[in-house]
Structure 1
């Protein structure tokens, strides 16, 4: 990277911290910090959900799969779009109707405090692994572009670049700062900013990448056999079907996504948020994955985990590479800080306030929330450093998602939809599911000599997804069919939903996120205009990028004027 790239990266990081500080004044209570008092616009929650599901792992894990296997990576990501529409139709509105601040509060009503503690601590342990992968993914990208001289204590002697360990520590600490200060509002706003930056940047990268290899025709002529198939190798149609099912439960039942549904003011807004997430995941994967696929033609021997970033570095001018890196940093930060916000909220409300200090003031709870955030972040940083020693990012993500996501979220969803599920069902379902997952990973070994086990190994991803779905689904079904009485928690949840109403969002709060988003994009456009003047290469491209950003800024501000005018007339 050039000096201009480092400068842009620094400015972007400072701006991100400034947004957190600006929004910190809105966090006067735990409800503000963890659920924005149900005042989030639906479009902001939808974009934030997209970026939370997205993360820098998209570039490392799925970018690596796109580089190695081709179009199947697009198919895998588009499965999330189908899942999102299912969630919007069936679950999003139900979550928004609950009169609760956090998902932990719902679980306490439905199943009892012991289940809340179980999900808070066990669920957080599993999520810590996923968050560590996201941080590690960004560190991989960043280190590939930062060579250091011999003798530098930050240098990895095996690569000659910045050490992944130090990259994880530095970037992890920076990610924590804005969520500690700005809470969920900061997470939502930064998500929207980096969504715009990443999308516009990749829209530039795709045609430039095609041009670098002589056009689309040359790409089609040179790709390996089967590279453009929508299902290939171990990623079969059965795997894709299982991926849709798993992510329907994931997007509808994981705490970070439920928190987005709880942050809007009505069931209708929650459904619109989920549908927006679905549209984005049906359209965007084609754009996101093409650079890594094209780079397979440029350098077939490249490190798959770095292929996406190397593709961008090959065509982007000075400054834009730094902006892309900053946006990828935000993508990782979005996912990590969104999850941290959820679990810090659970620790604050469902452990500290409920068990330790029931009389704690709002100021005290906000302080506890910030301390919890830092402690969770420290564990994530340590986990990211350990990722290379447990098989790399791809293996970790595929295994956790296939085997453990559904057992952790299905009891929560089941309790929302079915009336007889009790606390006992949660314990037994989760226990049996974890036992089945352990059996799959421990006892099915390579080179077993058994033809059936060898067949299972060849279809390991389908096996893991099947076990992860069927064991909890069948167990909960048996409990529901055998139980005779409606659970008291279900009755209480239903009554709370019926009685719950949300006041209209004040105009100042409704328009402020969009205004801050517009100003942030406008500032970036101004910086890129200046950059187009001072650089020596591809000035027109950088100026065009700045024009696109400024146009988006003006469209948002124009829309806000229309919104304000309509509200005055009403």
Structure 2
């Protein structure tokens, strides 16, 4: 289906706004020389609203709009647990992780590992993250975005990949984190607004002119099996969402790792003006997280209720955009999708360049590199990672549910990484030997369990591997005294503002209400 002229105009206006703002911010002030702190961490001057918006814009991508809608079509509301539990994860990270990171004044997650353990642990994890970011995350974002453009506009997959890569790289490679974060504020307005419009119209189409409320009631009548947050073993989606494990088991490994140990997300908080500003930003992001399932999961269930003629679940969202939305509105929704894709691409490239430049290039290739040289290398690293993703992304066409693919293979890294960070924070006897063993054995344990117990849900496998890695760290830790690199914290470090405390209570109350209704 071809997009209309009015839709193209809306998308063009959106692109013009984002690129103009991004390029303006990339220029910087007259006579100003961009240093590493300014390029990679926006001069550590981001306000809460920029932090929260950028976290959400970076997180919500094609893997949510397309991949999670596909899982909503195939599995149902259960997939929304990722988003709702994430709201709690953001609060935990804001209270316990962020104060430690900002007190240390670090640039990257590998840098923290080097300070707490040693250079070997830093290097192993830096290589792991670069591989995952480039070959899994960046490529899947490009693929899912290009797939959607192909379904809506008929543009060949490769052409869509090239267009998205060019758009994201146009301002982010030169401008650094500040350009990415501030344009993300614009992006989040488009993606939330456009996503809500798509959901309202898709659900309302089921209501026989009775509006959204009647349409939602009709949706639950047509597909009651799709409205369970905790799946039983008879559910076809149990292997991906194994019952109670999604709220008290392995999902927490993925959750805390993603929000608290992942350079791609945490870099926004590292660039905050203060701890309080970072915590307010993450609380703001948690509020938006409560809304996300309405944007990305409910449309997939609506497509299922409409008996959408699609060949695989990941085509559900593109089908809705092409067949349900009227001209003009389709352009807004399409701009929202592009916003989600481009913001995530830009954020991912910035994180890749930060880790490569600060943890690989500066550590092993040129320790005495100037700030100007570091910024230049960071830009080249962004460009090279994008080119690699452009080459690989068209090879993902055989995927059925891309969101689940990303979660499972990231799960080979996350158990060991989370164990290392938590031990580094709160277990003074943890040593570099134990951390290095956990980093390497996370892959080994995951692979062995996948081979030996192929029917074990990957989320449960992730929880088991996390416990094994924690045990390994304890067994290889010092027996009598704290490690020489262990941190000592005052309890006052973890005090939070009244705004944050009240926000946490409100968010938890909303979650209790949601899970009571759709348990």
TM-score by length of 2: 0.83
What is the rounded CA distance, in whole Å, between the counterparts of 1:438 and 1:227 in structure 2? 32
Deviation at 1:465, TM superposition (A): 2.8
Give the match for residue 91 of structure 2: 85
Task: Tell me what 2:198 maps to.
Answer: 205
How many angstroms does 1:142 deviate by? 0.9
Q: State the alpha-carbon separation in 2 of the partners of residues 202 and 257 from structure 1.
A: 21
CA distance in 1, matches of 2:465, 2:340: 27
Which of the residues 6, 13, 16 maps onto 2:15?
Answer: 13
Task: Provide the C-alpha distance between the structure 1 equivalents of 2:123 and 2:459, rounded to a whole number of angstroms.
Answer: 32
Task: Label 1:483 to 1:164 Cα distance change in 2 as closer, same or farther (>3 A).
Answer: farther
The 1-side partners of 2:283 and 2:419 are apart by: 21
| 1:368-517 matched pairs, under 5 angstroms | 368-389=377-398, 393-445=402-454, 457=455, 459-480=456-477, 482-491=478-487
- Shift of the alpha carbon at 1:381? 1.9
Q: Give the deviation of 1:70 after TM superposition.
A: 2.0
User: SS at the partner of 1:380?
Assistant: helix
Aligned residue in 2 for 1:179: 172
Corresponding residue SS for 2:73: helix
- Partner residue, 1:336: 345
2:159 counterpart of 1:163: no
Moved more, 412-421 or 260-269: 412-421
Matches within 5 A, 1:113-152: 113-128=119-134, 129-147=136-154
Deviation of the 1:391 alpha carbon: 6.0
CA contact (8 A) 1:95 1:258 kept: no
Q: Secondary structure at the match of 1:485?
A: coil
Q: Conserved in 1, the CA contact under 8 Å of 2:256 and 2:418?
A: no
Aligned to 1:549: none
Give the conservation status (yes or no) of the 8 Å contact 2:172–2:180. yes
Counterpart in 1 of 2:503?
Answer: none
Cα deviation for residue 88 of structure 1 reads: 2.1
| Aligned position for 1:25 | 27
In the alignment, structure 1 segments of 5+ residues that lack a partner are 148-161, 446-456, 499-570
Q: Hey, what's the Cα distance between the residues in 1 that align with 2:369 and 2:435?
A: 30
Is 1:103 paired with 2:109?
yes
Partner of 2:215: 216
The one-character-per-residue Cα deviations of 1:254-307 (angstroms, maximum 9, x if unpaired) are: 112221221112222222222222222123323432222222222344242121
The CA deviation string for residues 336-394 of structure 1, in whole angstroms up to 9 with x for no partner, is: 32222122112222332333333333222211111111011112222312222466514
1:367–1:375 Cα change, 3 Å: same
For residues 47 and 406 of structure 1, do their structure 2 counterparts lie closer, same or farther at Cα, with a shift above 3 Å needed? farther
Residue in structure 2 matched with residue 74 of structure 1 by the alignment: 80
Residue 462 (structure 1) shift: 3.9
Instruction: With the length of structure 1 as denominator, give the TM-score of the two structures.
Output: 0.76
1:127-148 deviations in whole A, cap 9, x for unaligned?
221221111111111110123x
* Residue pair 2:257, 2:418 contacting (<8 A) in 1 also: yes
369-378 vs 408-417, which deviates more? 408-417
Pick the aligned partner of 2:259 from 251, 256, 276: 251
Mapped to 2, the partners of 1:23 and 1:217 lie a distance apart of 43
Judged with a 3 Å threshold, the aligned counterparts in structure 2 of structure 1 residues 483 and 327 are, in CA distance, closer, same or farther, namely farther
Is 2:180 the counterpart of 1:190?
no
Cα displacement (A) at 1:197: 1.2
TM-superposition CA deviations, 1:451-500 (whole Å, max 9, x none): xxxxxx1x5234333234222222223334x4433333335x979x99xx
Query: Residues of 2 paired with 1:46 and 1:406: CA distance?
Result: 26
Aligned partners of 1:421 and 1:479 also within 8 Å? yes
Unaligned stretches of 5+ in structure 2? 209-213, 494-519
Q: Say whether the 8 Å CA contact 1:249–1:410 is kept in structure 2.
A: no
In 2, distance between residues paired with 1:209 and 1:138?
A: 20
Q: Residue by residue, what CA displacement relative to the aligned partner does 1:152-197 show, whole Å, maximum 9, x if unpaired?
A: xxxxxxxxxx332332233123222221121101211222111111
Q: Could you say if the C-alpha distance between residues 99 and 60 of structure 1 is closer, same or farther in structure 2, counting changes exceeding 3 Å?
A: same
Tell me, yes or no, if the aligned pair for 1:91 and 1:252 is still in contact at 8 Å: yes
CA separation in 1, counterparts of 2:402 and 2:291? 25
State the distance in 1 between where 2:172 and 2:436 align: 33
Q: Distance in 1 between matches of 2:5 and 2:183?
A: 25
- Contact map agreement 1:143 1:167 (CA 8 A) in 2: yes
Over 6 Å off, 4+ runs: none
How do 1:330-369 and structure 2 match up within 5 A?
330-369=339-378
Q: Does 1:262 align with 2:270?
A: yes
Paired residue secondary structure (1:490)? coil
The answer to whether the Cα contact below 8 Å between 2:190 and 2:339 also exists between their aligned partners in 1 is no
Number of residues of Structure 1 aligned to a counterpart in Structure 2: 469
